[in-house]
């Protein structure tokens, strides 16, 4: 039995092959290009790699062109966490020495001794991996948009509180195109107070607003012309220029999030699992795509629903030692799936009567709001696992059956 490991770097990689006794068979230094990938594949073929019996590979990353080349066919690729690899390094040397060829040898020995304890990369379809790329990118763009909006809000509080007051009545606040158009037209509160009704209406029309323009312009005029504290004129102008620079970043973040959302809405419905995922209450196109991106479509990835729940961080974890024991929430989890789960549970409360009743019952038993939502997410993701395994859509009556009636003895 031959085991392969790759110590990944940006430009070059160190490759090590060992046998089942731990003896180093060969080591090689390859470049991160097509030539280096061909050398690696030829090296694997030379030592017995075949389509029916591929050599398993350990590497410290789960993405990139090198991983894509290795994931062809039935090959098992193990993405070893660098922190775990550092712990294994101490088993082979106490001097704390470190080198790239030595790290490659450590990774190979991880497969030789503990391959059963590590999970290979899932065999997801190309469409599922494409949806994962788009959904994660859209999620990152949404977080980046909100972070930039928070920076803009913090800056406006220093010199332009009327802009914050004007945006408070709108959904999405500073991320709305109307707010961005108004800030571009009047970067300082002094200029905003000078805007006429006609100019305000024109700004709202440029932002795409079609209804209630006159009433909204009148409200904005009253807000901007109210009495507010002001910075000195020179300082106010300087802060206005800083705000315009930050506004450019916010516009780019909003545009990126919108474009990626359109790409997700185009790709996700093409997946065969989309119909089942979208049948669950609280899951729309964007949130459903995020769930699919993290769980994939490899039916053998999770042994049972408990494994998926632990991966999502929805199931509690028990820590016991001697006479002491505690049940707490999980800290080691898939953060993206866990974040989507809270949004899913929050939306399901209003979309499903059973989910609403379940949350109310948990709150009545003493759970905090977040704990009740986590428990609902734990239940629904288990139901999603069952539906995906059996190809069934969500059924409210089966998912949340009515409580049995109490029989009172005569």
Number of domains in the chain: 3
How, if at all, do strands 57-59 and 2-7 pair?
A: parallel
Q: Report how far apart the first and last C-alpha atoms of the chain are (Å, whole number).
A: 73
User: CATH number, domain at 83?
Assistant: 3.30.420.10
Same domain, 279 and 238: no
- Contact call for residues 135 and 247 (beta carbons, < 8 A): no
Which pLDDT does position 406 carry in this prediction?
47
> If we measure between CA atoms, which residue out of 234, 247, 236 comes closest to residue 189?
236
Confirm whether 178 is domain-assigned.
yes
Q: What is the pLDDT of residue 170?
A: 81
State how far the Cα of 272 lies from the Cα of 263, in Å rounded to an integer.
17
Same domain, 217 and 154: yes
Read off the pLDDT of each residue in 143-159 and give the average, rounded to a whole number.
94
**Is 245 found in the same domain as 202?**
yes
On whether both 237 and 287 belong to a single domain, the answer is: no
Q: Which domain holds residue 9?
A: 2-121
Of 92, 121, 150, the residue at which a domain comes to its end is: 121
Mark whether 139 and 259 lie in a shared domain.
yes
What is the C-alpha to C-alpha distance for residues 2 and 212, in angstroms, rounded to an integer?
71
**C-alpha dihedral over 155, 161, 166, 170, to 10 degrees?**
50
In a domain, 22, yes or no: yes
Q: Are 7 and 80 part of one and the same domain?
A: yes
Share of the chain above pLDDT 90, in %: 64
> Which residues, 6 or more positions from 314, have their beta carbon under 8 angstroms from its beta carbon?
330, 338, 341, 374, 375, 377, 378, 381
Beta carbons within 8 Å of 179's beta carbon, 6+ residues apart: 163, 166, 167, 170, 173
Residue 318 resides in a domain:
yes
Tokens of 136: 């994660």
Calculate mean pLDDT across residues 284-297: 95
The model's pLDDT over 44-80, given as tens digits with 9 standing for 90+, comes to 999 988 888 899 999 988 888 999 999 888 889 999 8
Q: What pLDDT was estimated at residue 101?
A: 82
Do 97 and 141 have their domain in common? no
One domain for residues 284 and 376: yes
Asked if residues 285 and 268 have their Cβ atoms less than 8 Å apart, the reply is yes
136 assigned to some structural domain: yes
User: Do residues 86 and 152 share a domain?
Assistant: no
User: Which pLDDT score, from 0 to 100, does residue 410 have?
Assistant: 47
Q: What is the DSSP string of 109-145?
A: HHHHHHGGGSPBPP---HHHHHHHHHHHHHHHHHHHH
Give me the mean pLDDT over the 183-210 stretch: 92
| Residue count of the chain | 410
Predicted confidence (pLDDT) at residue 190 exceeds the cutoff of 90: yes
Residue 7 lies inside a defined structural domain of this protein: yes
Model confidence band, residue 254 (pLDDT cutoffs 50, 70, 90): very high
Domain-embedded: residue 406: no
**197: helix, coil or strand?**
helix
Residue at which a domain ends, from 235, 266, 297: 266
At which of 266, 284, 310 does a domain end? Answer: 266
DSSP string, 298-362: -TTSSSSHHHHHHHHT-S-EEEEETTEEEEE--SSS-HHHHHHHHHHHHHHHHH-HHHHHHHHHH
pLDDT reading at 102 higher than 90 = no
Give yes or no for residue 24 having a pLDDT over 50.
Answer: yes
One domain, residues 229 and 134: yes
Give the pLDDT confidence score for residue 405 in this predicted structure: 57
Q: Domain for residue 404, yes or no?
A: no
Asked if residue 311 and residue 210 are part of one domain, the reply reads no
d(CA 251, CA 131): 25
In a domain, 232, yes or no: yes
Q: What is the mean pLDDT of the chain?
A: 90
Q: Is the pLDDT score of 379 beyond 80?
A: yes
Q: What percent of the chain has pLDDT over 70?
A: 97
82 and 190 in a single domain? The answer is no
Q: What is the pLDDT of residues 118-148, one digit of tens each?
A: 889 998 999 999 999 999 999 999 999 999 9
Q: Is the pLDDT of residue 268 over 90?
A: yes
């Amino acid at each position: 039995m031959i085991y392969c490991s790759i110590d990944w770097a940006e430009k070059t990689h160190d490759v090590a092959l060992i046998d089942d006794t731990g003896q180093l068979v060969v080591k090689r230094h390859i470049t991160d290009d097509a030539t280096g990938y061909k050398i690696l594949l030829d090296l694997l073929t030379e030592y017995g790699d075949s389509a029916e019996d591929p050599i398993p590979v350990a590497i410290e990353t789960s993405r990139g062109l090198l991983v894509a080349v290795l994931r062809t066919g039935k090959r098992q690729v193990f993405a070893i966490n660098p922190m775990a690899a550092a712990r294994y390094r101490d088993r082979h040397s106490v001097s704390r020495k470190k080198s790239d060829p030595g790290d490659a040898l450590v990774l190979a020995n991880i497969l030789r001794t503990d391959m059963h304890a590590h999970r290979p990369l899932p065999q997801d379809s190309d469409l599922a991996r494409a949806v994962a790329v788009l959904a994660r990118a859209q999620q990152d763009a949404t977080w980046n948009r909100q972070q930039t909006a928070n920076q803009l809000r913090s800056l406006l509080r220093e010199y332009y509180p009327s802009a914050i007051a004007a945006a408070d009545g709108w959904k999405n606040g500073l991320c709305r195109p109307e707010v961005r158009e108004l800030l571009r037209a009047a970067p300082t509160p002094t200029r905003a107070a000078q805007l006429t009704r006609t100019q305000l209406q024109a700004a709202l029309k440029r932002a795409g607003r079609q209804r209630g323009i006159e009433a909204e312009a009148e409200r904005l005029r009253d807000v901007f012309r109210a009495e507010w504290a002001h910075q000195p004129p020179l300082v106010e102008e300087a802060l206005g220029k800083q705000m315009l620079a930050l506004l450019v970043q916010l516009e780019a973040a909003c545009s990126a999030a919108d474009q990626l959302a359109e790409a997700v809405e185009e790709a996700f419905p093409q997946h065969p699992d989309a119909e089942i995922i979208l049948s669950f209450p609280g899951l729309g196109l964007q949130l459903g795509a995020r769930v699919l991106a993290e769980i994939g479509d490899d039916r053998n990835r999770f042994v049972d629903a408990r494994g998926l729940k632990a991966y999502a961080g929805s199931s509690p974890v028990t820590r016991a030692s001697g006479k002491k024991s505690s049940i707490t929430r999980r800290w080691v989890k898939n953060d993206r799936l866990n974040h989507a789960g809270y949004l899913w549970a929050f939306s399901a409360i209003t979309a499903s009567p059973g989910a609403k009743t379940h949350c109310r019952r948990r709150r009545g038993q003493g759970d905090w709001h977040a704990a009740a939502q986590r428990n609902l997410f734990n239940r629904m993701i288990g139901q999603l696992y069952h539906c995906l395994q059996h190809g069934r859509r969500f059924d409210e009556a089966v998912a949340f059956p009515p409580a049995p009636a109490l029989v009172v003895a005569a």
